[in-house]
Amino acid sequence: MDNHLTVALQRAITGAAAATRRARKPEAIDSAKRQWRLLTEVQDYIGTLEARLAAATPAASAAPAGAEHPFAAFTYMSDNGPVQTYHLGADDRLRVVPTLTAEQCAAALRMPDLQVAVRKAVERRQRTLAKAEVANG
């Protein structure tokens, strides 16, 4: 909950509880108790909504979704959290291919609608990595 909202809600709850203790007439006591009960229910409801929202959204410390994508470009912050961008054009993807690992090459080949030139470049990269592994192995 926003800090200002938390403080305001807590002050209202405290005020309603104090009004319950100060009231002399039964009607005023009942009204103050209803107000206090309503404010505490609102506070609990906001807490429930925050918990549901936290469960539905990925943690901020975790890597943004899609960061493992072989053609992930960069991430920027927006009002709705981190946004992952991707290389979509064949020329951009061809510039990325020489930096791919064997696992990323396999992931790239499983991608739907991969450009033919990029597919061939990824396959060449896989062969190069396999030869290097055999030579070092």
Exposure on the CB side of residue 135, measured as CA atoms within 13 A: 6
Domain boundaries, the chain: 3-56, 87-136
Measured between alpha carbons, how far apart are the two ends of the chain, in Å? 55
Give me the pLDDT at residue 62, please: 42
Paired residues of 115 in beta bridges? none
Per-residue pLDDT reduced to its tens digit, 106-119: 989 998 889 999 99
Question: Residue 28 is which amino acid?
Answer: A
pLDDT at 128 > cutoff 50: yes
| 29 neighbors 23 (Cβ within 8 angstroms) | yes
- State CA 98 to chain mean position distance: 30
- State CA 72 to chain mean position distance: 17
